[in-house]
Amino acid sequence: MNLLPVQNKRSKDPGDSKAMVQARAEFLRAGYYQPLAAKLAEVALDQGGEPQTLLDAGCGEGYYLRELLAQAEQRQQQLICAALDISKWAVQAAAKQAPRVTWLVASNNHIPLPTASLDTLLCVFGFPVAHEFRRVLKPNGRLIMVDPANHHLLELKQIIYPQVHSKPEQLPVPADTWQLTDQQRLTFTISLTQPEHIQQLLTMTPHLYRASSEGRARAAALTHIDVTVDVWIRTFVSAD
């Protein structure tokens, strides 16, 4: 269902392109980020078996939510799920593989769900809109975010950029309105031995557009690279 108003579109085809969605789907299908998917499912389902209403805000092609649903089924834990993304290509790809989910083409700025309707909201490598996330979460509802840590994809960055700058890490939502209740850092190495997988990883990240043509050419010449996956998995509740 496309609920993205025309006036909220910054382009005729907002969000990830069809090529980016396809690259991400093929890369994730190869299992490289399975440890992250498993850890995210563990955190999201840590509710003592209670039923949950859950939204994946910025769902992409649905990989992490499908893994979560599979784990919930194994645990016999009930989930009522919706997912949204600004990219129609991502939502179309996701809907084909998990029809039980309510898939929405929509923005985190205007979530088409009632106030205080969610137990859990996921934002995986996404763009949080703190006030709107607070609106749709129930009192004591959880916001679970996955964000890059300092060493995430460091080896690839060293190939495509002349210099890699380390940024100071900060919380992704305001500390005065959100309380951090759990923080876990997950770090592991993936070995990419097929050039197409290296290109898929680059294509599915913002680095494809940030890198110079020379940097992209150096990446295109690679036949093998070991890359660090380094992420924060954080859980927040509203501070008031």
Query: Using an 8 Å Cβ cutoff, are 19 and 202 in contact?
Result: no
Query: 225-238 and 137-148: which strand pairing?
Result: antiparallel
Indicate if the alpha-carbon torsion angle 169, 173, 174, 177 is positive or negative: negative
SS3 sequence, 50-61?
CCEEEEEECCCC
Rounded Cα distance between 99 and 82, Å, is: 11
CA–CA dist 111, 10 (Å, integer): 17
CA atoms within 13 A on the CB side of 117: 11
Question: How many angstroms separate the CA atoms of 108 and 85, rounded?
Answer: 8
Residues belonging to the chain:
240
152 labeled part of a ligand binding site:
yes
**Half-sphere exposure of residue 12: CA atoms within 13 angstroms, side-chain side:** 0
Which CA distances in Å does 206 have to 195, 201, 210, 223? 19, 10, 6, 21
Token digits for 210?
């940030």
Residue 33 among known ligand-binding residues: yes
Angle at 114 between CA 110 and CA 120, to 5 degrees: 85
Binding site per annotation, positions for S-adenosyl-L-methionine:
33, 61-62, 152
Binding site per annotation, positions:
33, 61-62, 152
